[in-house]
Structure 1
Amino acid sequence: EKIPLTLIRDGHAPYLTGSMLDEYIASGLQSDHETCVLEEGREKLQKGMYLYMREGITERNLQTLIPLATPCTSSRCCFCTDDRHADMLVTSGHIDDCIRKAIEYGCEPEIAYKMASLSAAERFRLDDRGAISPGRVADFCILSDLNNCTVKATFKKGTKISPNQWNPVQNEISQCPFHARIPSVQEILIRGRGTARVIRIQEGQIGTTAEYTQISGEDIPDIKRDILKAVVVSRYHPERIGVGLVRGFGLTNGAIASSISHDSHNIIAIGTSDDEILRALSTVIKHKGAMVARSDTKECCLPLSIAGLMSELPYENVHAELTNLHRITDACGAIADPFMYLSFLALTVIPEIRVTTKGVFDVNMFSHVPIFTDT
């Protein structure tokens, strides 16, 4: 019912090919930003889709896909940065970073800049911008270095913008539902033993794989095998609490928790003990949304006062707090940028296996399944 409401329809279609892709396109979807495989991207372009080549924090697909950007295809190719936290925006940049990397990976500069400007504008039917020509809005940058995309000056509607000219509009913060409660130890216990479904995160990718491991609930966490407990607490319905197992975060002590958890944005946590998980969850709930990292000796918190998803703080402060969070996770042995992997752990439309407030979710079967296969 929603698809006909707009003429611009973006999709999420990782690993979709063949007749299933045909059906997906025929339903009205026009683009994809989840493509991870070269031949998959080639097929989507051949079938008339727009291809957004993504380079986020943990979803790094640009090097794989950029060979598809040619003079013939560039009008259907754009860049995508889903997702980047404020620290990466400060240290690496945004679309400018995609331009630099595309050129580094062998893309012609003219094609890279077209993807970042005209191709994107025309895709979204912003016909009054995207190029410097009569009748178009004079939004543009002057560069001092083409290959490094070094911005010398920025113009908005023909007027030069000074670095300190931006003043954010002060709006009243919208209050969103946040009815979460701290679970009890009993509610997050894993009972049973046998062959368990374990969510395996993939470094540098959004997808996960299902691993099947012999384990007992009493042995969780299994630090030696890097198998940790994942807990999802509903922010809307206090009674809904789900538990699963995850491998790949690398934590040797402490816990992390966040209220950024696509797409429902329930609270999600992983940790090396039930006590640490519950303490991290408690801090998130106390602030009605936050990113929290705990070690054996300290805790760091970035409150997210806007719907539990965004901070009111200036970006410099957000950057500093994210740095502090990562200092703790690094000291605890975690994978780089663990909060981004955590945010996708409950995303039930991306294969292969996830965890929600109802427990483990098999994306291929599109149904919830028990932790133990013989349950």
Structure 2
Amino acid sequence: MHATTTSFEKPKPWSTVAPLLVDVAMGRRPADLVVRNGRWVNVHSGEVIAGTDVAIVAGRVAYCGPDAGHAIGEKTQLVDAQGRYLVPGLCDGHMHVESGMVTVTEFCRAVIPHGTTTMFIDPHEIANVLGLEGVRLMHDEAMAQPINVFVQVPSCVPSAPGLENAGAELGPEEVEEALGWPNIIGLGEVMNFPGVILNDETMAGEISATMRAGKTVGGHYASPDLGRPFHGYVAGGPADDHEGTRAEDAIARVRQGMRAMLRLGSAWYDVASQIKAVTENGLDPRNFILCTDDSHSATIVEEGHMNRVVRHAIAQGLNPITAIQMATLNTAQHFGLERELGSITPGRLADLLIVSDLPSLAIDEVYARGVRLAQGGRLEADIPAYDYPERAKNTVRLGKRITAADFDIQAPEGTASVKARVIGVVENQAPTRALAAVLPVDGGIVAMDRDNDICQISLIERHQGTGSVINGFVSGFGYKQDCALASTVAHDSHHMIVVGTNKEDMAQAANRLGVVGGGIVMVSSGRELALVELPIAGLMSDARAEVVAEKAAALSAAMREMGCTLNNAYMQHSLLALVVIPELRISDLGIIDVTAFKKVDLFLPS
């Protein structure tokens, strides 16, 4: 296989083909494709208009009306919608491809049958490993796709300077350089909200560069404090936010002129609570956007992508057309692309879905740029695999062979027990709780407490090969057997996280990932239960999405076998080092109190 740079013909700008569109609309030239007898879901007017024909030429819509017979020629392809709904292709307003553990190409192959035709991706995961070069690799791959994949320049690499070290650093100069690339749509989520509030030079410089370029600044305000810090953050420039978890969060953002992005990912269930801002509080839905943020490959294959989010929003009582607007037109408007996509109207890219039932969003056919890519839930398009260069692989550098002793936590001298900080997992949400527990000491080493669901978490530095291991405690996984789960996906700095109840298993899991070049592995009593190899930056597989989904499903099954009942527990595992979301995390520098944004001691005063 070889890297492909242009698998599909790119549509010409509206300005270039406008005379052709006029000729087709007027009947002077035939369309390439005419979809007849559809029920047009018009997201501009909020109507469903029966008996509509859509004429398409050069990948764009030329005519929407009651009869496109005048646009039909001998070579025009005809599709009879048979009274089914014509829905704009769905847009994901904020997401990370790497969370699917596959490349951009494989992610597209997985989501196209589910109706996603536009994505706005923030590749800050690969940026934390490979820097600007990693962003460029994903940018170039995105441009080769048959659907629209726009890229945001990562804003926080590392996510919280002073609280962690990543494999690379990006600043205003790198951001300004990337803003000149052809497929860059704006600045990725600004996670360092204290930096914005304090007018940090790096944050202010990156935001200013983006504003000067006339592009959108993505937001990430993870604090529940809606007082002065929130107002300072909004004043700093971020235009949207997906970190809300309550109705009041969505209300506050929209009132301040932001777009509230409501996410339903594999482990984030934030739509139901926040959509009440519309369904119960009566806010104008135009400034609400649906997104996924992080979707596991197994979730996509088994449950769907943006269609899953839209269905979920409808199930919460939202009008179906309003839910579709939040996943199409609203998103396009937010990124300044209303004249390019987000609706089935003249001049726009011919991204449309033929849907047999609106509330359940039963998608029969998927078209992008006037070409049918999927039918009946199956991909029809032949999208070539995309190879990453060798320099994007072999990024896991442990510096030494890890042993069980590396996970020993020395207790203060002369103590029989200690009071320790414990990271508390919160199911279906990104925040954690800052817990405390009294733990026994055995031979000078602090022991875990499996009976009370307290096991060990360790972070192993994997970018520079320093051999550093940071140890702590975590609660919420419910492991009941000797086991360990290791992962080189550890948002956002992506060191290696190991969570386990048995130190020998933890060491075996860590060393296994060092050998395979990254991924996720579950080990129990010396036996490897599941392995997902992720050789690209230790984050993504070079295998097909279906293969990765199957391995990911085996991983989930192994976690359940060990006693874990959390919904999408692996996603929770991968976020335990995310030092920009409260309350307590682990980094390569130690235990981090994200509420106070400082490193703290593992032990508390007794």
TM-score by length of 2: 0.60
Question: Counterparts in 2 of 1:230-241, with a 5 A limit?
Answer: 230-239=457-466, 240-241=468-469
Distance 1:220 1:309 in 2: 31
Distance 1:235 1:186 in 2: 18
Closer, same or farther in 2 for the Cα pair 1:67/1:304, shift >3 Å? same
Contact 1:209 1:353 in 2 (8 A): yes
Distance 1:156 1:149 in 2: 17
Question: Counterparts in 2 of 1:1-80, with a 5 A limit?
Answer: 1-6=205-210, 7-14=215-222, 15-69=224-278, 73-80=284-291
Is 1:249–2:477 an aligned residue pair? yes
Report the residue type matching 2:266 in the other structure.
Answer: I
Decide which of 103, 117, 126 is 2:337's aligned counterpart.
126
Report the residue type matching 2:352 in the other structure.
Answer: F
Contact 2:277 2:283 in 1 (8 A): no
**Long gaps (5+) in structure 1:** none
Which is further off, 141-150 or 295-304?
Answer: 295-304
Distance 1:146 1:54 in 2: 20
Is 1:288–2:517 an aligned residue pair? yes
SS in structure 2 of the partner of residue 214 of structure 1: strand
Which is further off, 4-13 or 301-310?
Answer: 4-13
Distance 1:202 1:287 in 2: 31
Report the residue type matching 1:175 in the other structure.
Answer: A
Contact 1:243 1:356 in 2 (8 A): no
| Shift in Å, 1:5 | 2.3
Partner residue in 2 for 1:142: 354
Is 1:111–2:319 an aligned residue pair? no
Distance 1:144 1:130 in 2: 20
Contact 2:249 2:274 in 1 (8 A): no
Contact 2:585 2:593 in 1 (8 A): yes
Contact 1:243 1:357 in 2 (8 A): no
Report the residue type matching 2:480 in the other structure.
Answer: T
SS in structure 2 of the partner of residue 170 of structure 1: coil
Contact 1:183 1:241 in 2 (8 A): no
| Shift in Å, 1:172 | 3.1
Distance 1:180 1:125 in 2: 44
| Shift in Å, 1:171 | 2.8
Distance 2:371 2:589 in 1: 53
Partner residue in 1 for 2:163: none
Distance 1:190 1:278 in 2: 15
Partner residue in 2 for 1:351: 582
Distance 2:517 2:605 in 1: 38
Partner residue in 1 for 2:542: 312
Distance 2:373 2:249 in 1: 41
Decide which of 374, 377, 397 is 1:179's aligned counterpart.
397
Contact 2:488 2:495 in 1 (8 A): yes
How many percent of aligned residue pairs carry the same amino acid?
Answer: 29
Contact 2:298 2:549 in 1 (8 A): yes
Contact 1:67 1:107 in 2 (8 A): no
Is 1:166–2:382 an aligned residue pair? yes
Contact 1:33 1:52 in 2 (8 A): yes
Distance 2:480 2:440 in 1: 19
Contact 1:9 1:30 in 2 (8 A): yes
SS in structure 2 of the partner of residue 101 of structure 1: helix
| Shift in Å, 1:24 | 0.1
Distance 1:282 1:107 in 2: 49
Distance 1:260 1:8 in 2: 27
Contact 2:459 2:586 in 1 (8 A): yes
Which is further off, 165-174 or 297-306?
Answer: 165-174
SS in structure 1 of the partner of residue 260 of structure 2: strand
Contact 1:16 1:40 in 2 (8 A): no
Residues paired across the two proteins, number: 375
| Shift in Å, 1:255 | 1.0
SS in structure 2 of the partner of residue 278 of structure 1: helix
Distance 1:217 1:12 in 2: 40
Partner residue in 1 for 2:599: 368
| Shift in Å, 1:168 | 2.9
Which is further off, 15-24 or 348-357?
Answer: 15-24
SS in structure 2 of the partner of residue 2 of structure 1: helix
SS in structure 2 of the partner of residue 69 of structure 1: helix
* Cα root mean square deviation, aligned: 1.7
Distance 2:219 2:561 in 1: 38
Contact 1:258 1:339 in 2 (8 A): no
Which is further off, 256-265 or 72-81?
Answer: 72-81
| Shift in Å, 1:220 | 2.5
Distance 1:72 1:350 in 2: 27
| Shift in Å, 1:201 | 0.6
**Bigger radius of gyration:** 2
SS in structure 2 of the partner of residue 204 of structure 1: coil
Contact 2:268 2:429 in 1 (8 A): yes
Closer, same or farther in 2 for the Cα pair 1:97/1:190, shift >3 Å? same
Contact 1:355 1:361 in 2 (8 A): yes
Distance 2:225 2:309 in 1: 24
| Shift in Å, 1:8 | 0.8
| Shift in Å, 1:169 | 4.3
Closer, same or farther in 2 for the Cα pair 1:24/1:95, shift >3 Å? same
Partner residue in 1 for 2:564: 334
SS in structure 2 of the partner of residue 213 of structure 1: strand
Report the residue type matching 1:236 in the other structure.
Answer: H
Distance 2:278 2:541 in 1: 36
Distance 2:346 2:477 in 1: 52
Q: CA offsets per residue over residues 246-303 of structure 1, 9 Å max, x none?
A: 0001111211111111111111010011111111111111111111112234431110
Distance 1:186 1:172 in 2: 36
| Shift in Å, 1:186 | 3.4
Report the residue type matching 2:207 in the other structure.
Answer: I
Distance 2:382 2:308 in 1: 22
Contact 1:244 1:371 in 2 (8 A): yes
Partner residue in 1 for 2:301: 90
Distance 1:365 1:65 in 2: 26
Which is further off, 27-36 or 231-240?
Answer: 231-240
| Shift in Å, 1:103 | 0.7
Distance 2:303 2:422 in 1: 33
**Long gaps (5+) in structure 2:** 1-204, 412-416
Distance 2:519 2:528 in 1: 16
